[in-house]
Amino acid sequence: MKRRVTREGRVNIPIDYLKTFGIKYNDYVDVSHNDTEIIIRKLPKEGFCPITNKVFPKNELTKIGETTISNEGMKLLEDYLKKNK
């Protein structure tokens, strides 16, 4: 399926594809590439840390509101807040 890239570099993903892969509004996806393709992969709701962009085991996560942050992500936030008081 051919899609046009906007000036901002965005590409709309067809709704049928989103439904097929269970991707919903506010879900996280990983965008990567190899030598010839751009790859979009749905990230799991549980275990994904938006600070580090990594997936962690449940025992290394803290739920804060609607998001989950890893111990590593918490450390990064702590360090950032200390530096930017």
- The DSSP output letter for 60 is G
Say how far apart CA 33 and CA 15 lie, in whole Å: 22
> Does the pLDDT value for residue 64 go beyond 90?
no
Tell which phi-psi region holds residue 9, choosing left (phi > 0), alpha (psi between -120 and 50) or beta.
left
pLDDT of residue 3: 92
pLDDT of residue 74: 94
Complete domains list, the chain, with CATH: 1-43 (2.10.260.10), 45-85 (no CATH)
Task: Render pLDDT for 7-62 as a digit per residue (tens, 0 to 9).
Answer: 999 999 999 999 999 999 988 888 999 999 999 988 877 788 889 988 888 889 99
Q: State the pTM of this model.
A: 0.56
Q: Please report, for the chain, how many H helices and E strands are present, in that order.
A: 2, 6
| Number of neighbouring beta carbons within 10 Å of residue 17 | 12
